[in-house]
Structure 1
């Protein structure tokens, strides 16, 4: 049974990658406005109906985007009573990567976005989903935390978590810009350590 599931997972991954690669390459050849889901499906050797089992729109296929998710190991390790700046900023980076469907399509994705910057708006929509997912995790932790009880008496847990995620998002974006030449998870985490240290130095000076 596990071998069957593994085979299905591998087949699904291969089909997802084929659709993304076809969509990205057709976009680079013809521009996004001239690309259709039918052409993408034909290039990937799947039916047009199958396309929508993997992507909601052609833009998602072009950029290789999928709904954000968080690994159970990250959820188990998350501690709202510990250093939230480091934890939340790293969690944001992790969840952003979950929307991009693996590293194989990174070079195509980068080339498409550089040539057709109008597609960044679609990526931004997915980043909002990332923020919401991380906010939900932080909110749940704050609601159950004795450490945050006093603050939670004056502010809603949802508002507290929104502020935390926005603050942690600043070094996350800084790190992604610094590692844009090679946007691997390791490079981004390395840049994130520097960004968080810089934020800690800057914050006292702007209060």
Structure 2
């Protein structure tokens, strides 16, 4: 494995976006633990996070997505470029997993939030299915991000634009599958495995190496 270079610091716009997202996720988990999944409402989550329902739906499609940390904002090219720049390392698989993790979630920052979310998922296992649906909805944005990473990697510099797009699509398929497996392992471990990105990169690399 090649060593990773330090990620670039995120900009003010990205930092504000992540802070609002985190506040909504924490509020959603808190309300579900307090009121129960069926009784938890978006209005209560917004009141807890001190944001409007309109802001909530700029970040999440439903209360289920907020509980999981499934992020479904329609990102513009500038935001995607910023995310890619902050995730770029010498290891393209780790960079891809970092980008997927940032755009798809779930957020796993904070031991307390991890454990609370795992308890909610165990009581409502249907929630994990939201990630599969989300990847389909965001596939074009994810492909844009991965195409950027591929175009920056000298190993793919000889490829045409169409070939790089095809490479990005295949990497998305492999990376998405690896991320889902890593998330399932994270849930099964009770949150003990905290670096989901590196685990997902490890799983993807193992499959690729076995095929060679």
Same fold by TM-score, threshold 0.5 exceeded? yes
**1:62 matched residue in structure 2:** 67
Q: Is the 8 A contact 1:92 1:131 kept in 2?
A: no
TM-score of the superposed pair, with normalisation by structure 1 = 0.61
1:162 to 165, 169, 184: 169
Question: Aligned equivalents of 1:146 and 1:201: distance in 2?
Answer: 20
**Inter-partner Cα distance in structure 1 for 2:102 and 2:20:** 22
Q: Which has the larger radius of gyration?
A: 1
TM-score by length of 2: 0.60
**Shift of the alpha carbon at 1:116?**
1.6
* 1:19–1:51 Cα contact (<8 Å) kept: no
Indicate the residue corresponding to 1:75 in structure 2: 85
2:179 corresponds in structure 1 to 172
- When the two chains are superposed, the root-mean-square deviation of aligned CA atoms in Å is 4.3
Unaligned runs of 5+ in 1: 1-7
For 1:44-92, what per-residue CA distance to the aligned partner results, in whole angstroms no more than 9, with x for missing partners? 396xx8233224433333334434676947515637xx65334323432
Superposed, 1:36-185 pairs within 5 Å as: 36-40=41-45, 44=48, 50-55=52-57, 56-67=61-72, 72=82, 74-75=84-85, 78=88, 83-97=91-105, 100=107, 102-103=109-110, 104-128=112-136, 131-142=139-150, 148=156, 151-152=159-160, 155=162, 157-180=164-187, 181-183=189-191
Count of paired positions: 188
